[in-house]
Amino acid sequence: MIVGIGVDVVQVSRFRAQLERTPALRERLFVPAERALNDRSLAARFAAKEAVAKALGAPVGMNWQHCQIVVDAAGDPQVAIDGTVASAADAKDVRYWHLSLSHDGDLATAMVVAER
């Protein structure tokens, strides 16, 4: 059963400019393993984290570092959660995450489906 769906689109150049204007933003939004990625990949991961939040109904107090986008052995992106995000997911009985990332030109897009 689908619990929630989230979609987000990020303009890579705008996201890059924001990271340059506010260097602490990179540390607030991303775990150390994500921070070294290029801006295009970070924009897609940010879109995915936003989509996760939307799929959960935008829970108050969500810590961005409690949602990480990892790559499995096959190279597919996966949602990994803990802390505040895991608590919000548990409250809605979310057990499975489906994630799709896409890039086109200056846009990064993510779609997330949260499922029981």
Q: Are 103 and 92 in contact (CB under 8 A)?
A: no
Q: Identify the pLDDT of residue 52.
A: 98
Q: What is the pTM of this model?
A: 0.94
Q: Which residues contact 66 (CB under 8 A, 6 or more apart)?
A: 81, 82, 83, 84, 85, 86
Rounded to whole angstroms, how far apart are CA atoms 89 and 23?
Answer: 30
Q: Are 78 and 100 in contact (CB under 8 A)?
A: no
Mean pLDDT throughout 38-65? 94
Nearest to 54 by CA among 43, 67, 65: 67
Residue-number span of the structural domain to which 71 is assigned: 2-115
The neighbouring-strand residues paired with 10 are: 108
The CATH number covering residue 32 comes to: 3.90.470.20
Q: What percent of the chain has pLDDT over 90?
A: 95
Q: Are 98 and 76 in contact (CB under 8 A)?
A: no
Name the H helices within the chain.
Answer: 12-21, 24-29, 32-35, 39-55, 83-91
Quick check: 59 pLDDT over 90? Answer: no
**Domains of the chain: total:** 1
